[in-house]
Amino acid sequence: MVPFAEPQTNFQFLSELLLNTPNSSQMLLNSKLGSESDMSSLLSAKNFEALKTLAATNHVIVRAFGRLQPILQESGKYDLAELVTASLEEERLRIKHALSFLANICSALEQSGCAVTVIKSLDHWPDLGSDLDLYTNADPAKVVQVMSSQFAAKLAERSWGDRLANKWNFVVPGLPEMIEVHIGRLGQTGEQTAFTRSILHRTRVIAIDGQSFRVLAPEDRIIISTLQRMYRHFYIRLCDVVDNAHLLDSQEVDFDQLHRMGHIGGLWEGIATYLVIISEYVEKYRGYGVPLPLIVTESAKFGARPVSFRKDFLRVPILPHSLNLYAGELKTLLFGGQLRNSLRLSLLPGLATAAALEMKITGSDKGIW
């Protein structure tokens, strides 16, 4: 009987699919993934659901399965290829449905005088995340009024973290995904306002699936991704690697601008470290990293070595690595005279402790974060 593949092996398999870009099934079969028995375990019906779940959790199911399907066809695994095709159709229908809501919500907010941009969610295209994130600098009461009156949306209960971060979550009838609206602030405790003041002026409009969306500038995409991964969750999804590698390979990033904005918010070392981790992880699979200037590589505090796979993602060590980045952010805000933002950020360790206790007692930290 063919055993289930280990989660880490599945993660490596997905990384190989997405980063190495094999031209044929034979290239993949002869790749770094391991022995023929390992590959048999990976490309088996028994392992399919685990592989699918991991790909969905990492927001890469469309991109990964889009490459896996022809490999299975060439390998003669037609039954499994049909499962992959069905999964792709199911996911694309989900995304199409979500995008129609997202476009209507953005349009309604804009027409009501609430300038808005999509953040994070469309970075994964043609994949999509499990919720839909927006940023605006509008009056929160106006946003709530538009969402409730035009979409019958219900405001989800706000946690302590939501209140600090100035974030509102909406449940929209007919839409499985939550709408998260960040207003005027970013960061786990809403401590980042220096670069958000002009974020809407740097946006651009893109067309996706026949609809127009306002999205972030490349530099703002990287900053927000860094905030989420290096200063909040302390784990990196595979989509983060793929998204940012593609963005950096395109050479659209203005690193001088990125450095200026990152430095103001005390995030530069975290940004540089995040990009070096991504580059070194990419290099592991395709043989070369992403193009990074010296200002990035020399500013990074560590690379991919201390990062390890655990519980479906690449985990960034909190002690001392992430703690040092947090201390650097707090120091910059304090010395820059951003006292209110510094106070917000200083609450983070207490919230993290409370969340850990809540998780241990109840199995959920939703009331905290």
Higher confidence at residue 19 or residue 355?
A: 19
pLDDT class for 107, splitting at 50, 70, 90? very high
Domain assignment present for residue 107? The answer is: no
**What angle is formed at CA 210 by the lines to CA 205 and CA 213, rounded to 5 degrees?**
25
Residues 6+ apart with CB under 8 A from 202: 216, 217, 219, 220
Asked which of 10-24, 43-57, 206-220, 232-246 is least confident by mean pLDDT, the reply is 10-24
**In contact, 159 and 369? CB cutoff 8 Å:** yes
Quote the pLDDT of residue 349: 85
Task: Read off the pLDDT of each residue in 305-311 and give the average, rounded to a whole number.
Answer: 97
Domain that holds residue 326: 217-336
Domain assignment present for residue 362? The answer is: no
pLDDT of 34 > 70? The answer is no
User: What whole-number distance in Å separates Cα of residue 189 and Cα of residue 133?
Assistant: 17
Task: Read off the pLDDT of each residue in 14-22 and give the average, rounded to a whole number.
Answer: 86
pLDDT class for 24, splitting at 50, 70, 90? very low
Give how many domains the chain has, as a whole number. Answer: 2
Residues 6+ apart with CB under 8 A from 323: none
pLDDT class for 43, splitting at 50, 70, 90? confident
Q: At what angle do helices 218-228 and 238-249 cross, to 10 degrees?
A: 160
Helix (H) or strand (E) holding 308: strand 308-310
Domain assignment present for residue 266? The answer is: yes
Domain assignment present for residue 68? The answer is: yes
Quote the pLDDT of residue 44: 87
255-to-103, 222, 260, 262, 332 alpha-carbon distances in Å:
31, 11, 8, 10, 20
C-alpha 299: how far from chain center: 23
User: What whole-number distance in Å separates Cα of residue 158 and Cα of residue 142?
Assistant: 17
Domain assignment present for residue 185? The answer is: no
Which of the listed residues 45, 76, 107 is the one where a domain comes to its end?
Answer: 76
pTM of the model: 0.93
C-alpha 358: how far from chain center: 25
Name which of 112, 152, 117, 144 is nearest 132 in CA terms.
117
User: What whole-number distance in Å separates Cα of residue 151 and Cα of residue 130?
Assistant: 19
Per cent of the chain over pLDDT 90 is 82
Name which of 46, 26, 28, 29 is nearest 37 in CA terms.
29
User: What whole-number distance in Å separates Cα of residue 87 and Cα of residue 13?
Assistant: 18
pLDDT class for 75, splitting at 50, 70, 90? confident
pLDDT of 247 > 60? The answer is yes
List pLDDT tens digits, range 194-239.
999 999 999 999 999 999 999 999 999 999 999 999 999 999 999 9
Across the chain, mean pLDDT equals 91
Burial 38-50 (b: 16+ CB within 10 A, else e): bbebbbbeebbeb
Which of the listed residues 35, 53, 76 is the one where a domain comes to its end?
Answer: 76
Quote the pLDDT of residue 363: 58
pLDDT class for 352, splitting at 50, 70, 90? confident
Domain assignment present for residue 317? The answer is: yes
pLDDT of 367 > 90? The answer is no
**In contact, 342 and 335? CB cutoff 8 Å:** no
Name which of 293, 280, 174, 193 is nearest 236 in CA terms.
280
Domain assignment present for residue 101? The answer is: no
Domain assignment present for residue 138? The answer is: no
